[in-house]
Amino acid sequence: MSKKIADLLFPNIDKTPDYYEKMYPERNLDDNAMVTRYGPSPTGSVHLGNLFSAFCDMVYARQSKGVFFLRIEDTDQKRAVEGGIDNITSILKSFAINPTEGYGIGGDYGPYIQSKRTEIYQTYVKDLIRRGLAYPCFMSEEEQQEIKEEQEVMKQKIGIYGHYATDRDLTYEEVKENLESGKDYVIRLKSPGNAEHQIEIKDAIKGKLKFPEHDIDTILLKKDGTPTYHLAHAIDDHLMHTTHVIRGDEWVSSIPLHVQLFEVLGFERPEYAHIAPITIKDSETGTIRKLSKRKDLWAGAKYYEESGIPIDALHLYLSTIANTNFEEWYLKNQDKNIEDFIFDFSKQGIGGTSFDSSKLENICKTYFSRKNGKEVFEETLSYAEKFDKNYADFLKDNKDLMIAFLNIEKDGPRPRKDIAKYSDVKEEFSYAIDSMFEKENYSKLNSSKDYDIDMIKRYIDIYNINDSKDEWFNRIKEFSINEGYSPNVKEYKKDPSKYKGHVGDVCEAIRVMVTGRDKSPDLYEILKILGKDKLNNRLELFKKYLNK
């Protein structure tokens, strides 16, 4: 009889699960190779937490020479937003999270978008109905609402199960009659579970987990014939031969249902690895909460790209969240890459990991400090091409000058750590841009100090671009003496009344005139890169600023 019901409900489904089992055979991979997948729903913006789970998918598959595929999970069309899919693929691309197979890439296990797999889901569901493991449920919304209210009052578990599951055993005639009268229906799992029994599963990250068996007749196909997430997850991960389901731990409570679905469908179950959320200490309440796209700037994936955080640095940061021993390893193996580290689920934190913006900033600064001027230049240029066209034009017109600036204090054991993101370059090296001095650079000086313009002018006259660093410093000391300044601080401190100031004050006046600030990288290098003509130009601008 159930076979007759199945045929009645799905007259157009003429295949059996066997057809798909043959169509998607085992993958030809090494025994330990992991097959992971990222299954985003196209619901709008991408969250750092989503990126983190995709990152984990990528590293585990990569290190085991496995497969990491992208599957678009658009079963909930109500939540889908226009452009959502393109947004996902472009964000993955800009974050260098590169699936090796899947949506937009191709592969032998597609289609990789759930809305194109309806026939597959219905084939398996038809088979479940035929085998008496699923059934059509014609209950109206109102009836279900009434049941829910009753269950709430009685403090019972919410859902359709036990005596609430009134459509479990409808006869063929009853089903036919309901169909003929045009009633809507869903297909429910005829849950074989008993909540008195316990199941135990081993999560790759969380370890042993125990749950009561699932005993609710969960919906498998919705009124429009499309699947619920649960059914699609079981069928897709089976047919696509996923070995490890890495996903956010908001799915932990669905484990009993998923385990049961794999059982009734006769599938071998993949391993689950539920990752803890990225948390943050709320600045207002002081409590630990999940990262929120609404409240936290860093939560939205776009932030990283737009503000110019280098992707490699972000990967390093995500690695420190992924495995607790990564940071120590990286400090000891600074010449190595993330690819050389072996990620291990057992080293993955169980509780939420707190987002640490200062750690991220530090990682970024170290990243920049290890790049030479040319590399920083090229990367900054490609960032600016996308987000700051005017600056990109400036960079292209001043390539050698900028590379020279970016190379200041790069050699040696402690290279400069002044840049944390591409957008910092414009700000940090603003003294490279003449027009910045007309607009804003001097106006950032908050000192009301009076600088001796004539002295600076005399300095420019004696400045010799060919001086070595020692010669340059000796010359400036000599100049200081001639101008009535002490050549060193010690002398000056002995009797300040004897001097106008000391050599440091002379340097400060020159530095402020040149850079618009009282701290900068090595002044000798800056002057040498700019050259005498530019120094004279800048002095004119400085005069204007000081109204002299």
Interface residue list for ligand GLU (CB under 6 A): 39-41, 73, 233, 245, 247
Minimum Å distance from CB 85 to ligand GLU?
Answer: 13
d(C-alpha 162, C-alpha 165), whole Å: 6
Q: Helix or strand or coil: residue 336?
A: coil
Q: Which is nearer to ligand GLU, 113 or 453 (CB)?
A: 113
CA R_g for the chain: 33
CB neighbour list of residue 116: distance below 8 Å, 6 or more residues apart:
110
Minimum Å distance from CB 36 to ligand GLU?
Answer: 10
CB neighbour list of residue 216: distance below 8 Å, 6 or more residues apart:
157, 159, 160, 161, 191, 257
Minimum Å distance from CB 10 to ligand GLU?
Answer: 25
Minimum Å distance from CB 23 to ligand GLU?
Answer: 23
Torsion sign across C-alpha atoms 118, 120, 121, 126? positive
d(C-alpha 449, C-alpha 452), whole Å: 10
Phi, psi of 438, rounded to the nearest 5 degrees: -75, -30
Q: Which is nearer to ligand GLU, 41 or 441 (CB)?
A: 41
Closest CA relative to residue 512, chosen from 442, 425, 457: 442
Q: Which is nearer to ligand GLU, 139 or 273 (CB)?
A: 273
Minimum Å distance from CB 29 to ligand GLU?
Answer: 21
3-state SS, 207-239, equals EEEEEECCCCCCEEECCCCCECHHHHHHHHHHH
Q: Which is nearer to ligand GLU, 2 or 118 (CB)?
A: 118
Q: Which is nearer to ligand GLU, 41 or 319 (CB)?
A: 41
Q: Which is nearer to ligand GLU, 242 or 423 (CB)?
A: 242
Minimum Å distance from CB 43 to ligand GLU?
Answer: 7
For residue 19, CA distances in Å to 22, 120, 240, 479 come to 5, 10, 14, 90
Minimum Å distance from CB 69 to ligand GLU?
Answer: 12
Q: Which is nearer to ligand GLU, 233 or 315 (CB)?
A: 233
- Look up residue 193 and give its two tokens: 């579970």
d(C-alpha 531, C-alpha 434), whole Å: 13
Minimum Å distance from CB 374 to ligand GLU?
Answer: 41
Minimum Å distance from CB 219 to ligand GLU?
Answer: 16
- Look up residue 280 and give its two tokens: 């943050």
Q: Which is nearer to ligand GLU, 40 or 99 (CB)?
A: 40
Q: Which is nearer to ligand GLU, 2 or 279 (CB)?
A: 279
d(C-alpha 351, C-alpha 499), whole Å: 63
Q: How far is CA 283 from the centre of its chain?
A: 22
